[in-house]
Amino acid sequence: MPADVILPDRPIVVDYSAQNDTWSTGHDTFIKAMNDRNYPLYMYWGAFGHANNHEQILKVNDLVNSFDWLAVKRNESYPVFTNASTNDPLPWPDQLADKKSGQVNAFFRWTNVSDTATAIEMKLFLVKSADVKTTFTVPTEATAVVSVRRLQKLRVAPGATVLWTFGTATGKVKADAQGCVTIPGLKITSEPTTLSVRTAK
């Protein structure tokens, strides 16, 4: 892609696939690509074969419908979670006989607070066990790399330095070549904490 071309931020991907479905071969490559590019992914898997029936899939992985993707708006920013400590080990490429169900990023949630020309604020948190019916153990804390995408008013130039705060933690980072801001190692809990990103003066 030419260096001066900036693509629009992509939509959030919700993927449910089965390790015992040959159509899912290569999912490790797909998941790594999404992670390495800081693209948004909610991933669920289990040994439900080539089923395209949620009633059957839910018997194997009951988290599949837990993320309300219809609440994501095209005109609102969103966070991307990568390298999360709560992600389950992938069955791809060489553990396909393992029938254990798993997830990537399934427990992360957010609420937008503000998006202005100088700063963006959003609350990040983990879903609480009381708010999701599942056989999975719902974590109360996690660490993750967080990128902010689909900014509406805040404009960050490629390579520009921005300031961030998350609770009592603070720092500054440089945007990548596409102007995407990524903050490493945030500790996220079930209590909403405000992430603020603002332009450096």
Cβ 126 vs Cβ 113: under 8 Å:
no
Rounded Cα distance between 62 and 59, Å, is: 6
Q: What is the mean pLDDT of residues 172-190?
A: 95
Per-residue pLDDT of 19-77, as tens digits, reads 999 999 999 999 999 999 999 999 999 999 998 888 999 999 999 999 999 999 999 99
pLDDT band at 4, cuts 50/70/90?
A: confident
Is the CB of residue 37 less than 8 Å from the CB of residue 109?
no
The mean pLDDT value for 83-105 works out to: 96
Return mean pLDDT, the chain: 95
* Mean pLDDT within 167-173: 96
Strand partners, 125: 109
Beta bridge partners of 173: 162
Quote the strand ranges of the chain, DSSP E.
13-17, 41-45, 78-82, 102-104, 108-115, 119-126, 141-149, 161-166, 169-174, 181-189, 193-199
Q: What is the pTM of this model?
A: 0.94
What does the pLDDT read at residue 3?
72
Beta bridge partners of 44: 16, 103
| Confidence label for 165 from pLDDT (cuts 50, 70 and 90) | very high
Say what the pLDDT of residue 163 is: 98
Average pLDDT over residues 165-194: 96
Of 15, 1, 134, the C-alpha closest to 69 is 15
Specify the DSSP class assigned to residue 68: -
Structure token pair of residue 20:
């015992």
Per-residue pLDDT at 87: 98
Q: What is the pLDDT of residue 10?
A: 87
Q: Is the pLDDT of residue 201 over 90?
A: no
